[in-house]
Every structure is written in C-alpha cells, then in structure tokens.
Amino acid sequence: MTTRDIYIYAKPKGIGNPIPIERVSNAIVNIQHKLEISIKGQVYYSDAYIQWENGIPDIRCGKAVRISIPNFESTEYHNFNLKIDFVGTLNERIRDLCFIKNMIKHKEFSIDKSRIPFENFNFEHEEDLYEQINNLKLLKQRLEYYGVKADLNLDILTDEDDIKLSIVMEENPPISKYNIDLSGSRILKMKIANIAILLMVEEDMKEGCYKLKNFFCKYLECYLCFNWNNGTHTHESIFGSR
C-alpha cells in the first residue's frame, strides 16, 4: 500500500526484470482481500475490502458504509471520516445503522480482530439514527407478523409502495385515512417491491378502522382428511375459519 503514484509494469520477452511502462495518478485501487469488521466480538461484515483513492484508504463495508482513515498506519488513536448512503435491503440497513450505533457507543471497531480505537468522534444526528433504527426494526417486525420471510428491497420502492407500507405499519389503519376496496372480497393482496402480502381485512365501522390479520396464520387452519375407498385412500386439504 502506498500514497504515491502507481506504476504499471510489463515484462518484455528477453528482459529479466519488469520495467515501468505507465504512471497512474489519483487512481482508485480495490484490494480484493476480504476483511472481517466487528465490534466487541460481534461481526457485522465478513466481506469488507479496502479501496485506495488519492492515496487514502477507504474501508468499504457492504453497500452503504465507507470508513476513510487518513492515518491508517498509526498505532494509537485514529482519525477517520464516516460516510453512509441509505441504500440496501431492510436487513442491510438495520445492520449498517446498528454498526454505526455501536461504533459511537464503544468508540472502536476491529478489522480482522485488530482493534481500531478512536476519539473525538461526534455524530451530529444521533437521535435521528436511533429513530431510523427503531422504525426499520418495527417495519421488520410488522412484515414478520404478516408472514413475510423475504428481505424487503427498499431501493426499489415506488410511491404506491410507500402508501402500502404505511398501511402495514398501522396496527388499525383508520378508514378516514385509507380507502380499501372490500366490495369483492375481504382478502387483500399487496405487492410491495419484491415481496407479496396476503391479508384478511375487516371493516370496523364502530371504531372507524380496518382490522388486518395474516391470511394464513390468523384466519385459516388446514385439516388433512383421509377418505378410504376400497382399500385405497385419498387426501385433501380443507381450510376453515377460526
């Protein structure tokens, strides 16, 4: 690793040693060796890598987090710049924000179990960070309640998806706020980005809200029935309301 210009070498036929053929300034170089990034033994990234740009190493963690360490070779406290882009899936964003939260709390992180301490680090939007973590975790909890196992891709949400998510986040969505068409069926299918949710919806006019329940886990039971005919048997699934 070097902070100087990078030279590209070639080895012509008949010459024993490689010779420099071009100098590259302000290059961006990725070091392909994978790094494990952890805090107090908890691993957050197992595939981080170092990218050198203008002589300064950046540690790239996932899609969103970049840690720039100008005094990388220091054996004492380090200075660094932290940049996060709010991109990625729901689980990736929760991981990224929790990583930053614990960096603030412990004032250190580890690269391949080598501890990197730091000081004088102030995060101006710490309260916003905690609020975002809580909101993302609540969204994950609500999706799991409705039986969603796939990781929601937040990068491809549309305006319509945002409205659907706001309905999912409400425990009892108010009728005055949302207009859900229940004329055909009480079954509501929602396609949100890369996931699909199937809900049973009840309209509670007395309380002025919709009651949402997981279609599979809350309303339906599956019974396995056997019909014996002439020594053979068949089976069928029968769904009944609770």
What local confidence, expressed as pLDDT, does residue 60 receive? Answer: 92
As a 3-state breakdown, the chain gives helix, strand, coil percent values, each rounded to 5, of 25, 45, 35
Residues 129, 155: one domain?
no
Residues 165 and 121 in one domain: no
Residue 121 lies in a domain: yes
Q: How many domains does the chain have?
A: 2
Q: Residue 152 pLDDT > 60, yes or no?
A: yes
> Looking at the structure, do residues 79 and 164 belong to the same domain, yes or no?
no
Residues 60, 93 within the same domain: yes
Listed in sequence order, the residues at least 6 apart from 59 whose beta carbon sits closer than 8 Å to its beta carbon are 35, 37, 48, 49, 50, 51, 66, 67, 68, 69, 111
Task: Write out the two tokens for 107.
Answer: 């004032």
pLDDT of residue 36: 95
Do 113 and 182 lie in one domain? The reply is no
Q: In this predicted structure, what is the pLDDT of residue 183?
A: 78
Of 103, 133, 163, which closes a domain? 133
Highest mean pLDDT (candidates 103-117, 145-159, 205-219, 226-240): 145-159
Average pLDDT (213-241) is: 50
Same structural domain for residues 45 and 113? Answer: yes
Instruction: Provide the domain limits for residue 22.
Output: 6-133
Judgement on whether residues 89 and 38 belong to the same structural domain of the protein: yes
**Segment 190-196 mean pLDDT:** 96
pTM above 0.85, yes or no: no
Shared-domain flag, residues 157 and 122: no
Between residues 226 and 88, the one the model is more confident about: 88
pLDDT > 80? residue 163: yes
Predicted local confidence at residue 22, as pLDDT? 45
Whether the per-residue pLDDT at 201 is higher than 60: the answer is yes
Residues 50 and 127 in one domain: yes
Is 70 exceeded by the pLDDT of residue 111? yes
